[in-house]
Amino acid sequence: MTQWVDPRTHGVVYDKPLPNGWEKKFMANGILYFVDHNRGTTTYVDPRTGKSSLDNGPQITHIKDFKAKVQNFRSCCQQLSLPQDIKITVARKTLFEDSFQQIMSFHSQNLRRRLWIFFSGEEGLDYGGVAREWFFLLSHEVLNPMYCLFEYAGKENYCRQINPASSVNPDHLKYFKFIGRLLAMALFHGKLIGAAFSLTFYKRILNKPLALKDLESVDPEYYQTLTWIRDNDIAECGLEMYFSVDKEILGQVTTHELKPGGGNVLVTERNKQEYIRLVAEWRLSRGVEEQTQALFEGFNEVVPQQYLQYFDAQELEMMLCGMQQIDLDDWQGNTIYKHYVRSSTQILWFWQFVKEMDNEKRMRLLQFVTGTGRLPVGGFADLMGSNGPQKFCLEKVGEENWLPRSHTCFNRLDLPPYKSYEQLKEKLMFAIENTEDFGLE
């Protein structure tokens, strides 16, 4: 028997066209997939509906808010996770190199297994808190401009961007692949890193096109210059510019042509839009294509890029870096107490102590108790412990001459029953500023 009705859709035709640049194809086994020619990627997820053509693929539909996107991303990662675990042992003094050697020695798929992080010479068991501290400390280390892999985006912008002079290290591409794996591991395992990137960096990870407006967050002066050229008649101003720019790397100045023969092409009122576009693209990339490609290679080995397609740059930054600003009301409203009550004298003193702190000291206190100085998207309500959500906890433990202790896997602070506010403040500050390692009771 023959018929015009498709047995898969029972005659219901989905007639909404694909977005521009998209194409629908079928594999040899009949499975439907989609090609995004704009980005040069393929996916099983229908861009019109968010549904996967795979039975066990990510089914993302009607995502209206960021938390829903994160929840669906976590679900997708769960499908990729593997059983058992991998152990990574590092020394604090050689954190960067130890982590690099071990992460690059694993097959990329093994990095989707549960992590067990050990600091050499320390007894702490990793039920989440040790891994949080490892990601937090390691990200600070690898993004430190002193290694010449990254640099600050501007004089007053402390976001990181890839350093075009990174080739002074002959192995710099291997390190960028390692950093790509590290960032993907943080997303995959739901951990936060301790430093932020420029928004253009996140847009590159998401494979989203860059525009002149993106330059404003990286180099405001350069952006203002280009917008002035855009909005004014350069012929009347007598400006003499060509399709080339000077760049300086390690004190050596070279000329880069924005297009073939650009050094001889004068910028005029007629072609200035092309000039603005090309010079903005150059300023946002500045010859770091090889480094970017190496980082993407490492990243995509752990997290497929298509799993991030529903996020924008700000959302990706929030998911990867969390929140730095700590809200005291949110902290108090999502704290539980053991052997104390909310009105206990020591609890009132503790919140007075936190209130008197600036945000940087609050972050250090948070890191002491939870392993990281940043908060997840939902704030203190979304703090995670060893077995899922775990609120910040203050527990009455010990004698008044004891120092406070933290249990980072459980977001718990052991707060002895101090006899005065000055004593509590002194002991807490000493613990925060002098903590060094993990141990077992």
* Residues designated as active site: 409
Q: Residue 125: which residues within 8 A CB-CB, separation 6 or more?
A: 409, 440
- What Rg, from alpha-carbon coordinates, does the chain have? 26
Give the pair of three-digit tokens for residue 44.
Answer: 């099983």
Strand partners of residue 162: 150
69 near 333, Cβ under 8 Å?
no
- Apex 170 CA angle, 164 and 171, nearest 5: 95
Strand (E) or helix (H) holding 142: helix 129-142
**Measured CA angle at 103 (ends 100, 104), to 5 deg:** 80
414 and 400 in contact (C-beta within 8 Å)? no
Which residues have C-beta within 8 Å of that of residue 312, sequence separation ≥ 6?
206, 208
Residues in a beta bridge with 33: 25
Q: Which among 278, 277, 270, 274 is positioned nearest to 233, based on CA atoms?
A: 270
Sign, CA torsion 85/91/93/98: negative
8 Å CB contact between 334 and 392 = yes
Q: How far apart are CA 245 and CA 280, in angstroms?
A: 11
What one-letter code names the amino acid at 357?
M
Q: How many CB atoms lie within 10 A of CB 51?
A: 14
